[in-house]
Amino acid sequence: MPYAAGHRDEVRVKIVQNARRLFNRHGFDNVSLDAIMAGAGLTRGGFYSYFGSKSDLYAEVLGCFFTDPEWQSNWEGVEVDREASDAGAQVVRAYLSRQHFENREDCCPMVALPTDVMRSGKSAKRAFEAVFAGMVSMLEQSVNGKPKNRRVRAEGIAAMCVGGMVVARAMANRAVADELRDGCMAMALELGGWTD
């Protein structure tokens, strides 16, 4: 009996979602294809009918809500309306939120995987660049100020969000990590012109 229409796409999504959680938790090198496929309820044998390599899967895992409108955030209480006039401020608040900080398995891969990407091939680096460019583009649309400065400020805000979260997660002292996130959020909102 043939599979229902859309079955292949559903399975691919399950593989990507499981790989994202595992890569975020353990890093690229420490996750096997067996673990990825088992977590998706499949056997390793079917992997290559969906992806050419583990690196190809990794590039797809790097998608995030900046580039994939279907990406489902599991950050409870955090919403981003991509069409809102203050979408940039919403992105900053979501990105530097306590929920994003605490949810390591479903976080943005730019926070969890930058050192893995640095050591990876061109396809993973291009995927990382695409996610970062998507974030910058989303921020740029709502940055206040002169048009010629918007892109530069959006890049600075994006780097502050990603870098701030990476450094905060590397801290042992939770109070210091929270203070850092709050400080990055305040400065990013000010840089975007989203403060009262």
Which stretches of the chain are DSSP H helices?
Answer: 7-26, 33-39, 54-61, 87-95, 98-102, 109-112, 114-119, 122-140, 147-169, 174-192
Structure tokens at 166: 């990476």
The per-residue pLDDT for range 80-112, each reduced to its tens digit, is: 877 888 889 998 998 999 999 998 887 888 888
Per-residue CA distances from 188 to 52, 143, 153 (Å): 39, 10, 9
pLDDT at residue 134 in the model: 87
Query: In terms of CATH architecture, what is 87-192?
Result: Orthogonal Bundle (1.10)
- Cβ–Cβ < 8 Å for 36, 19: yes
What is the assigned CATH class of domain 7-61?
A: mainly alpha
This prediction has a pTM of 0.83
What does pLDDT average to over the chain? 86
pLDDT band (50, 70, 90) for residue 68: low
pLDDT above 90: percentage of residues in the chain:
38
The per-residue pLDDT for range 106-145, each reduced to its tens digit, is: 788 888 888 888 887 787 788 888 889 989 998 999 998 8
Domain extent listing, the chain: 7-61, 87-192
